Chains A and B, each alone.
Chain A
Amino acid sequence: MDYALESLIKIAIVLGVIITTVAYVVLAERKVSAYIQNRLGPNRVGPWGLLQPLADGLKFILKEDVIPNHVNKAIYLIAPAAILVPALMGFAVVPFGDTLMVVGREVQLIISDADIGVLYILAVSSLGVYGVVLGGWASNNKYALMGGVRASAQMISYELSLGLSLIGVLMIAESLKLSDVVNLQATGTVLGVLPAWFVFNQPIACLVFMVSVFAETNRLPFDLPEAEQELVAGYHAEYSSMKFAMFFMAEYAHMITASALIATLFFGGWHLPGVDPTDSSFALSVLKVLVFAVKTAFFLFVFIWVRWTVPRFRYDQVMRLGWKYLLPLALLNVLLTGLYLTLNR
């Protein structure tokens, strides 16, 4: 019973934090883009626009929900949930800290430390493509259909490089468990000075993973599925009110999960160089959670930064990059890592 209560509290906190972060990443995106373009950004609602997410949320709830006549209604209604749920679910296996002593209980700061964590993440994140395709198809709108078809081809193409890039990491970690992957990075060094983070062990994998994740989340420079200038909004063109908000939240939730994964898999998760990873005193445990949050926030910033810096690719360029560069590069990384590990056995 205690265990169930503990899980429920963890889940409530994590979901709450993710939803709040989604709201504030939207504000951060608008603010950062404004500063990049030498504007002020939202600054009317609250000091420095800090209450803007609340106003947005309220507006989404109060807006009329138009369900056009021509849509396939059942699938049209399922699609927003089908995209938001997988985007949130990925976070279930990400360790956001080590352990924390709360009222005499040692709580592991991860919702589910599943043995097949990495496999689970790949499985769940690829479910997101269903929401996009179903939403695009059920809308019965030419823009939406084109967006949905493009998105599916793009997402499945980059999923290959995404999966292959992680194989090098797994070969070193010898485990699919994310807590094992983090613990391994918290011990030892690379070349005697750098922490044993996988970004230093597996630089090619890190590069391929980051590029693929940008394509998976449909973010610029890979936002072909919703290319505003040609497809108005792509697969969510016919959605309004709260259902539109769900597509919107899904994109940002996906970004948060992706940033957390980059931090966990390649940048040591909660590990901070110079801090004893085995020490689980209260202050240090909180510090580890903060370290993880800062790393995740940094990669969220990179997502936004790239969006407002790099122009959109053409579709043939997207496909060429995925199939002709990233895929062979990821395969090469697997072979090189295998060769290295076998030689140094």
Chain B
Amino acid sequence: MLLDYANVLLFLSVGSFFIVFNLFLGSLFRPDNPDPEKLSTYECGEEPVGGSWIQFNIRFYVVALDFIIFDVEVVLLYPWAVVAQEFGWYGFGVAFVFIFILLLGLAFAWKKGTLEWVRPKVDRFRDTMTRPLVEEAA
């Protein structure tokens, strides 16, 4: 039983050794002559303007939040899936209620527009405070 996981550990160590060995092997042969041009940020030959760690779109964050909710759902459904045939109608009912509640969450996210990726139209003449975070796509 535990030996199964010892095998996984062994696989991990052999795999990691392979990677380290390859890097080491390369370091014996490869040339090493850096110059300032070579070590600069790659931006297709342009001089980079500003730093790279810029703000990215807030929607990536919202997607990650949605993901966490549903990932927990998936993990909780696994134990039920394995014994679903034994539990019969009772188990099915419980799972159905559980999935239904989470479907409400999906419906909410859908309606709220967090699943939309079309750029929101900015109406400069309207009060920006009353505008929803992401507008419905036309």
Binding site for B on A (CB under 8 A): 3-4, 7-8, 11-12, 14-15, 19, 60-70, 80-81, 84-85, 88-89, 92-93, 111-115, 119-120, 137, 139-146, 149, 152-153, 156-157, 159-160, 163-164, 167-168, 170-171, 174-176, 232, 237-238, 241-243, 245-246, 315-316, 319-320, 323-324, 327-328, 331, 334-335, 338-339, 341-342, 345
Verify A140–B115 contact, CB threshold 8 A.
Answer: no
Q: Is the CB of A242 within 8 A of B42?
A: no
Give Cα A341–Cα B89 distance, bound, in whole angstroms: 10
The secondary-structure label for the interface of chain A is helix
**Alpha-carbon distance A159/B115, docked complex (angstroms):** 16
Query: B residues engaging A (CB < 8 A)?
Result: 1, 3-8, 10-12, 14-16, 18-20, 22-23, 25-27, 29-34, 38-44, 48, 51-54, 56, 60, 63-64, 66-67, 70-71, 74-75, 77-78, 81-85, 88-89, 91-92, 95-96, 99, 103, 106, 110, 115-118
Contact between chains at B117 and A319 (CB < 8 Å): yes
| CB–CB A111/B60 < 8 A | no
Q: B99 CB to closest chain A CB, in angstroms?
A: 6
Q: What's the nearest-Cβ distance from chain B to residue A45, in Å?
A: 20
Q: Chain B residues with Cβ under 8 A from A14's Cβ?
A: 11
Label chain B's interface by main secondary structure. helix
CA distance A152 to B56 in the complex (A): 13
Distance A85 CA – B42 CA, assembled complex (angstroms): 27
Chain B positions within 8 Å of A156 at CB level: 63-64, 67, 71
Q: How many angstroms from the CA of A146 to the CA of B42 in the assembled complex?
A: 14
Q: Which residues of B contact A4 (CB under 8 A)?
A: 10
Q: Is the beta-carbon distance between B4 and A65 smaller than 8 angstroms?
A: no
Give Cα A156 to B61, complex, Å. Answer: 11
- In the complex the two chains form, what is the Cα distance from A345 to B84 in whole Å? 10
